[in-house]
Structure 1
Amino acid sequence: MPPNFDPFTLEGVIFEGSYTKDSVLATKNFKSRPDDIFISTYPRSGTAWTQNILIGTVYGTDNLTDGQNFDLHYLSPYLELVLNDVTGCALADNSLKNPRLLKHHLPVHISPIDIFSKELKNVLVFRNPKDVSLSYFKLYKTGPNLRRHQSPTLQIFLDRFLEGRVNYGSWWSWNKQWIKYGRANPDTNLMIHYEDLKEDFAKEIRRLESFLNLSPMTSETIDRLQALTSVESMRERLDTEKNYKGMGVVNKGEANRWKTEFPPEYVEKFDALTRETFGDDEIVAKFI
């Protein structure tokens, strides 16, 4: 019997995609290995980009060159997702990769407990909520189990986003929790801004190498990694039957697209909530 993908709320968080309560709870209680590397992001924050970067950095860039055989679900399982009746947790349990690169979108209070109790390496990526919401609005039109929850207009969706009535809940709550944890535990958490990756790719890769205690890549290899993780390259790999064909997972990959596409009245609404949530915290200054 196929899973029931009706929307549900678990521990105060809305889920409207290919998840079940069991798959989320299995992720919370996921049994880790000592060298696991977690990727913790709010949706549409550059997650697939980060996964591809880590695959190329940890496993080698050759893993990004075989487009037709590339399998993101194997190389970097999405833990709480249910795909073809198989959970990401099950894929991870059966993975022979070492270390494993494990993705999830869960807020702190229902994230894999081992991240905290075993102090495992965790890569956090943050992105401007205005750009996140634009990308999310589009995903709601293309995601197989999100389409039925899409909003008829961008403005209606932005109201939902401001109120946290979207898949995975409030961007503001999610990021506030993870920023607090990441700051308190800098040895095991690397916090990256999506915008910084766009602005100075090589600099952020050097930070990632240092965080993971990896041997530095040559400048030429970093250039190759950047080319292989471009929007065009990733779209070619991910828009395949093995991955996310037709789902629009790779969007435009632009920073500050909101400046030309965001309704002006919502700029102040988003910025006001960001100020209310974070005050003058410098980590979110670039989101205003």
Structure 2
Amino acid sequence: MQQPKSFPFDIRDVEEQDNEEMLKYFSGIKAKHNIQVGPKKYLLFSDYKNEAENIYNLPLRPDDIFIVTYPRSGTTWTQAIVWLLTYGLDFTAANKTPLEERSIFFMLMHKDLIDELRKVHAGNEEKLKALELLRVPGTVQVAAMPSPRVIKTHLPMSLMPPSLPDSCKVVYVARDPRDVAVSYYHLTSEFQTFKFKGGFKSFWSLFVKDLVYWSPFFDHLKEAWEMRHHPNMMFLFYEELSQNLSATVKRIADYLGKEYTAKQLDELCTYIKFDNFKNNPSVSIDNWKELGIMASKGEFVRKGKSGGWRDYFDADMSKEAEEWIAKNLQNTDLRFPTVS
């Protein structure tokens, strides 16, 4: 058996001034304890400390497929596509079993929140059982998955097992940061883990300072971009899915080595066309609403519109965003697709 590797990065608390700024807006249970990891200072919840080495040493299988994204970049959409391509377009199974059970979220831990919700649902055995499943660390859940595993994570490549992408395939999805910020703002406002209390301008201010979870945004993307020519790395843009779904699905199928007829791929595209996908109960995580993890009126899969950020940014914010993006794309050929 291979000797476990020591986790190579330091883990420290977020600096007091930055943490205080975050806590003005993030009031969720998990938001009380924030950490930064490694030289790039990836901002994560404190429960990551207990799992960092287990994640870094996760045994990989050659047929694993990792979906890696910064949050709100098209993760769920890509998950559904990759799972169906991997499992023979089994729409019946996809409709029957929630996506989060078929494709595990690597590093989803809600211990503090679950302890709180257990009090709310005391006596309801069904809900208590569902809550306990969410307490199980992602590494344990992933280890129990049958092959081939389709695994979702928001962790950057540098915090993943170091044999990636040599050992198995990775699909990395990036999205225009302005659209990411809008979608992430809504998510953090609706999830009990975050409980963001503020307007979009306040969220954007934190976003560009790398004071929201899984940031820094650009370091996250650049790590994968630098690996884009590796045969086991597919780097996708969300905008490719939203603007040319059929061609992008075909590219994903080819990358995964899956052969389907044009008719079969058309059926898949109809199934996962955004409006159909958004209304599919298997991806709406309604059970999280019932458990109290997400606001009852919240939408996990929102509008899916590329360029929708224009409805949220005033002239000053748009100028700031353009300058911030240009600054962070210096000395790299990474560019986001143009959306009219």
- The bucket for the TM-score relative to the shorter chain is 0.7 to 0.9
Q: Percent identity?
A: 22
Partner of residue 203, structure 1: 247
Q: In the alignment, what sits opposite 2:199?
A: 153
- 1:188 paired with 2:232, answer yes
| Whole-angstrom CA distance in 2 between matches of 1:178 and 1:151 | 32
SS in 2 for 1:61: coil
What CA distance in whole angstroms lies between the structure 2 residues aligned with 1:129 and 1:43? 10
Pairwise CA distance, 1:124: 0.8
What's the CA shift for 1:7? 2.9
Q: Superposition pairs for residues 1-288 of structure 1, below 5 Å?
A: 5=30, 6-9=32-35, 10-11=37-38, 12-16=41-45, 19-63=47-91, 67=95, 69-82=96-109, 84-96=134-146, 98-116=147-165, 118-147=166-195, 150-183=196-229, 185=230, 187-215=231-259, 217-229=260-272, 230-235=274-279, 236-240=281-285, 246=294, 248-279=299-330, 283-286=334-337
The C-alpha deviation readout for 1:174-205, integer Å capped at 9, x for no partner, is 1122211224x2x1101111101111111111
Task: Tell me the CA shift for residue 26 of structure 1.
Answer: 2.4
Q: TM-score, normalised by structure 2?
A: 0.74
SS in 2 for 1:206: helix
Instruction: From the CA coordinates, give the structure whose radius of gyration is larger.
Output: 2
**CA RMSD for the aligned pairs?**
2.4
SS in 1 for 2:212: coil
For residue 273 of structure 1, report the CA deviation from its aligned partner. 1.8
**CA deviation after TM superposition for structure 1 residue 107, in Å:** 1.7
Unaligned runs of 5+ in 2: 1-28, 111-133
Q: How many residues align?
A: 276
Output the amino acid matched with 2:33: P
Shift of residue 55, structure 1, vs aligned partner: 1.2
Matched-pair contact (CA < 8 Å) for 2:105–2:153: yes
Query: 1:198 and 1:169 mapped to 2: Cα distance?
Result: 24
TM-superposed CA distance for 1:25, in Å, is 3.7
Question: Is the CA contact (8 Å cut-off) linking 1:36 and 1:102 kept in structure 2?
Answer: yes
Contact 2:79-2:150 at 8 Å conserved across structures = yes
User: Cα offset for 1:92?
Assistant: 1.2
C-alpha distance in 2 between matches for 1:102 and 1:24: 17
Long gaps (5+) in structure 1: none
d(CA) in 2 for partners of 1:65 and 1:243? 20
Tell me, what secondary structure is at the counterpart of 2:335?
helix
Give the conservation status (yes or no) of the 8 Å contact 1:73–1:243.
no
Is the Cα contact below 8 Å between 1:196 and 1:204 reproduced in 2?
yes
Distance 1:48 1:37 in 2: 14
Task: Tell me: CA distance 1:64–1:242, structure 2 relative to 1, closer, same or farther (3 Å).
Answer: farther
Cα pair distance change 1:259/1:64, threshold 3 Å: farther
